[in-house]
């Protein structure tokens, strides 16, 4: 038979631990994203086989060969993900280094970091594109 105090302790997850865990996972997946993004950018901007010897096997795509819509979307997603990851690291730095009470810092929804992280998603999703993913 379990004690009701055990349930309360097991279900509680402090906001400070949640922020650190979330930031760790975010930076881990951002690293994976960077590797994938590099491969995608290479595919979007460079053509050729890249195998064998001799010059001329690989070259930059000419402007009319580039799929501009895919390139622009990839660039916008990269900027948004980078900005969100940087804001997350800044938020944790401000909470744990600059502040005396990290929990109060994380719960302060009027802070510009929280507003920037949330409003960025609304701007991107509300732009009328009809699709989108914003990490948060």
> Residue 121: what pLDDT?
56
pLDDT of residue 29: 95
Profile the chain (136 residues) by mean pLDDT over runs of 10 residues: 52 86 94 94 86 71 94 92 91 91 88 77 53 48
pLDDT recorded at residue 75: 93
Nearest Cα residue to 95 out of 12, 27, 26, 19 = 19
Helix (H, G, I), strand (E, B) or coil at 32: helix
Q: What is the reported pLDDT for 115?
A: 81
Query: For residue 126, what pLDDT is reported?
Result: 53
Q: How far is CA 10 from the centre of its chain?
A: 29
- Domain assignments of the chain as residue spans, ordered by start: 4-125
Helix ranges, 1-136 (H): 4-11, 15-45, 68-93, 102-107, 112-125
């Amino acid at each position: 038979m379990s004690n009701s105090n055990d349930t309360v302790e097991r279900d509680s997850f402090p906001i400070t631990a949640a922020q650190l865990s979330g930031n760790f996972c975010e930076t881990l997946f951002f690293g994976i994203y960077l590797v994938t993004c590099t491969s995608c950018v290479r595919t979007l901007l460079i053509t050729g086989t890249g195998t064998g010897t001799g010059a001329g096997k690989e070259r930059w795509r000419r402007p009319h060969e580039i799929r501009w819509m895919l390139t622009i979307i990839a660039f916008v997603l990269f900027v948004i993900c980078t900005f969100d990851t940087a804001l997350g690291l800044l938020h944790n730095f401000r909470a744990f280094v600059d502040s005396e009470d990290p929990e109060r810092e994380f719960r302060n929804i009027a802070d510009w970091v929280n507003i920037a992280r949330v409003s960025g998603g609304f701007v991107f999703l509300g732009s009328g594109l009809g699709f989108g993913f914003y990490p948060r």
